[in-house]
Amino acid sequence: MRADRSALLALLETSVMYSITIISRAKVNLTLEVLGRRADGYHDLDSVARIIDLTDELSIAKADEGVIEIGSDTQGVPSGPDNLVHKACRAFFVATGIRAGARCNLVKRIPARAGLGGGSGNAAAAIAALNDLYECGLPVDRLAEIAGRVGSDVGLFVYGGTVRMRGRGERVEALPDAPEMHLVVVKPEVGVSTAWAYRELDRSPGRSQRGASDAAERAVRAGDRAGLIASMWNDFDPMVAAAFDEIASAKRSLLDHGAQAALLAGSGSAVFGVFATKEAAESVADSIRREFGNVLVTRTLPRRQPVSSPGGED
């Protein structure tokens, strides 16, 4: 019996040493201003974003040099270089010079093509996990630098909490924790192509409510929940809602059911409504599930509750 127990302990120690399972979370943009198209083809953005308590799960095991494998429980998730987790692993190994690999498996719960940043959160989680798995001890700013090479909004998930993003999204400033918000997220069946959304926005002159992100940051720093809600704005929102009846209907339904504000998530297609309490959010979600199939209740998270955490829910 003692020999069996020793063997089990050795197996557990090996498992801890060679693999890690962490949680990655979604985000919402409370403001999203698109300032213009850049010479490199990207757009300059100004956004106040918040991490929310919708989660995927990522497991990563050590592998031989050059091996990067991606598996998932969800059909349609890319397994090769098009997957942001794949790109994140490669960027981490290049940045650190570690001659190793990674076998990754994703359990997806965050709706895809929704503007909630599920893929970007997965990529940030991969960078954080590899930092722990290979015992690098890189600080948050260095992890965010690597994240910025992977995708425009990956860095915000490294910091977590409430942030302000500029540039193409890679310049991230951590803000104080904003007042908590309870959210109902509605994901219509329709998907919105990010490339299409930017093309359409470029054709829409005079679209932006300049200064929304400045107002949101002031409200965050003052702890002014009402002021933060009043500042919410997304340049994509009017254009996307006009183009997709399902999205306009979801936003209208949230407002009709008492949402203090309702806004498109990123470039869509999810819409989220802000409510005063968890109970109010749950009640509204129960009511509108008859109309919309994919309705989720969640909340915004403070920075002390990390974007990626071992094992499961905090």
Residues annotated catalytic, as ranges: 27, 153
Residue 308 lies in a domain: no
Number of domains in the chain: 2
CA distance 251 to 237: 10
In a domain, 245, yes or no: yes
Say if 312 falls within a structural domain: no
The pLDDT of residue 3 is above 70: no
- 7 pLDDT band, cuts 50/70/90, is low
- Do 287 and 170 share a structural domain? no
Asked if 200 and 150 sit in the same domain, the reply is no
Boundary residue ending a domain (157, 174, 191): 174
CA distance 213 to 29: 10
* Global confidence as pTM: 0.88
Which CATH number fits the domain that encloses residue 242?
3.30.70.890
In a domain, 53, yes or no: yes
Q: Are residues 156 and 22 in the same domain?
A: yes
Shared domain check, 125 and 6: yes
Q: How far apart are CA 131 and CA 137, in angstroms?
A: 6
Per-residue pLDDT at 75: 85
Q: Quote the distance between the C-alpha of residue 129 and its chain's center.
A: 16
pLDDT digits (tens, 9 = 90+) for 220-265: 999 999 999 999 999 999 999 999 999 999 999 999 999 999 999 9
Read off the pLDDT of residues 121-171 as tens digits, 9 standing for 90 and up: 999 999 999 999 999 999 999 999 999 999 989 999 999 999 999 998 889
Longest distance between any two alpha carbons in the chain, whole Å:
75
- Helix, strand or coil, per DSSP, at residue 130: helix
Q: Contact at 8 Å (CB) between 258 and 280?
A: yes
Residue 249 CA to residue 148 CA, distance in Å, equals: 35
8 A C-beta contact, residue 270 and residue 114? yes
Residue 198 in 3-state DSSP? Answer: helix
273-298 average pLDDT score: 96
Claim to verify: residue 165 and residue 50 sit in the same structural domain: yes
b/e map 239-249, b = 16+ CB within 10 Å: bbbeebebbbb
Mean pLDDT of the chain: 90
- Domain range holding 8? 2-174
Lowest-pLDDT range, 4-8, 35-39, 115-119? 4-8
pLDDT of residue 110: 96
- How is residue 25 annotated by DSSP? E
Q: What does the pLDDT read at residue 207?
A: 60
Domain of residue 78, CATH code: 3.30.230.10
Q: Residues 139, 235: one domain?
A: no
40 and 132 together in one domain: yes
Asked which of 116, 142, 174 is the last residue of a domain, the reply is 174
Reported as a pLDDT band with limits 50, 70 and 90, residue 53 is very high
Q: Where does 169-244 have alpha helices with state H?
A: 194-202, 212-222, 225-231, 236-243
pLDDT confidence of residue 304: 74
Check pLDDT > 50 for residue 14.
no
Query: What's the pLDDT at 208?
Result: 58
Q: How many angstroms separate the CA atoms of 126 and 101, rounded?
A: 12
